[in-house]
Amino acid sequence: MYSSEVISVNIWQMIISIANLLILFFMLKKFLYKPVQSMLARRQEIINNDFEEARKAKDDAEKSRKKYNEKLSAAQAEADVIVSDAKAKAQRKSDKLIANAKEKADEIMDRAKADAELEKKKAEADIRNEITEVSTLLSEKILEREINKDDHRKLIDSFIENLGDSYDGNQ
Amino acid sequence: MKSKKKSSKFRLVDGFLLIMMIIPIAFGMTLHILFNPPSNGIEIAGPLVYFTIPMPIQPLPISESQVNSWLLLISVFFLCLYLTHGISAKRPTKRQHIVEWGIEQIDKLVSDNMGEFFKDFAPFVAAIMILSAFSSLMTLVGLYPPTSDLNIVGGWALLVFILITYYKLKCGFVHYLKSFAEPVAFLTPLNVISEFATPVSMAFRHYGNILSGSVISVLVAAALQGLSSMVLGKLPGFLGQFPLLQIGLPAVLSVYFDIFSGLLQAFIFAMLTMLYISSGFPEEDYRQKLKRKVTAN
């Protein structure tokens, strides 16, 4: 048992030292680097998967949002169509009603007018007859003689005619 | 989801690995205590030689530094197993964070200093760092640090030299010879000398730093002992022998020489390894050679 010199060179010891370093190198590579690196690779894989899933979920959400929006706008359009249809229908109905009413009113008006005309004509004829009769009576009384009834009528008629003419002319 | 609490089997394996980590160091300490002759006074000697094996050229002494290196290897082996035990991608353990951080740092260091081509050198650099640092730190438990044996550090430097030359030879032998004549032809002898000076300087730097630390520690401790016996020697009995002045300063020196210097030398050795290998390798020429080969085929 002895201590070696402080500075001593021994080739075998150097070789053993090199071997030690190489052994440690392979040891670290196999037992420290390999497990850690495979773990890191696995973790990277997990992270990638998570990202992929998240992206997919986001895409899905985006898609369904778009779909929903589309549906919403379609429903809106449909509602618009229904409302405008209903409006048009109502308009048409009211137009029809108004037109009918107008027609009826016109009809009534026409009938009333015709009635009035008829009434007027009747009255005119009545008045004419009355006047004729009255004037005949009067003339009979005045002349005390029988005028030929036909002549008389002619006379009166022409008189009334003139009267009417003058009346119309005054109008 | 499994509970965060670790199973008893996991704990058992953990404990076993930890014990296996400590046993080699304890064994080394026992050997040191059993076989180290009691020192009297100032003694600066090399590692203790347990026995010698006759070999051609030179006999091989199995010294304390050799044995300590092997014990350290066993310890580091179990440390690796302990650190990677229970490693998982989803629920990292506490030690896993440390391992990941360390490996990341070493990878970054290597790719920063050596470039992408030498990316696979990370475990080698880690091996140099771990071996050197832990060897130097062995003084903390009273063991002889293998790094203060020239043969140990010389072996590493020799391996680095072989690697440097291997990567220089990648472009062919003629290219390797020509590289000595650069930048000017008459500098060739100096280049040859500097080529061989590289491993020698690396070995001596590391070895000298660690050994000088121990030497200075021994000298200071002895000096303080002398001083305290001078000051307190007149006191009767036990008090006269009490090494009062040895309290404090040696501890501070130990922190510097054993911890700081040891780690620093490990880092320096690893840095120099990376720089010498990557700067010696003519990467541009090698790429051109590869390209020529591809086009020739």
**B45 to A3, A49, B42, B94, B259: CA distances (angstroms):** 6, 61, 10, 43, 21
Reduced to 3 DSSP states, what percent helix, strand and coil does chain B have, rounded to the nearest 5?
A: 80, 5, 20
Whether chain A has a CB inside 8 Å of the CB on B100: the answer is yes
Which 136-155 residues of chain B touch chain A by CB within 8 A? 149-155
In a domain, B263, yes or no: yes
The residues facing B130 across adjacent strands are none
In a domain, B80, yes or no: no
User: In chain B, what residues touch A17 (CB-CB under 8 Å)?
Assistant: 69, 151-156
Cα distance between residue A41 and residue A34, in whole Å:
10
In a domain, B52, yes or no: no
Lowest model confidence (mean pLDDT) among A6-20, A145-159, B165-179: A145-159
- The confidence band for A165, taking pLDDT boundaries of 50, 70 and 90, is low
H or E, element range at B52: strand B48-53
Contacts of B289 (CB under 8 A, 6+ apart): B171, B172
Instruction: Tell me the shortest Cα–Cα distance from A49 to chain B, in angstroms.
Output: 13
User: In chain B, what residues touch A15 (CB-CB under 8 Å)?
Assistant: 155
Q: Which residues of chain B have pLDDT under 50?
A: 1-3
Q: How many domains does chain B have?
A: 1
In a domain, B119, yes or no: no
- pTM strictly above 0.90: no
User: In chain A, what residues touch B68 (CB-CB under 8 Å)?
Assistant: none
For A29-50, what is the mean pLDDT? 91
Q: Check A8 against B48: CB less than 8 A apart.
A: no
Instruction: Tell me the shortest Cα–Cα distance from A78 to chain B, in angstroms.
Output: 51
Whether chain B has a CB inside 8 Å of the CB on A32: the answer is yes
Q: Check A36 against B103: CB less than 8 A apart.
A: yes
| Pair B13, B78: CB distance under 8 Å | no
Q: Which of A3, A4, A39 sits opposite B87 (nearest CB)?
A: A39
Q: Check B126 against A14: CB less than 8 A apart.
A: no
In a domain, B192, yes or no: yes
Domain containing residue B256 = 147-296
Q: Check B80 against A23: CB less than 8 A apart.
A: no
Cα distance between residue B154 and residue B47, in whole Å:
15
**pLDDT for the residue numbered B1:** 39
In a domain, B272, yes or no: yes
Cα distance between residue B146 and residue B132, in whole Å:
9
* Residue reference for tokens 């050596």: B114
User: In chain A, what residues touch B122 (CB-CB under 8 Å)?
Assistant: 33
Token digits of residue A114: 């015709």
Q: For the complex shown, is ipTM > 0.90?
A: no
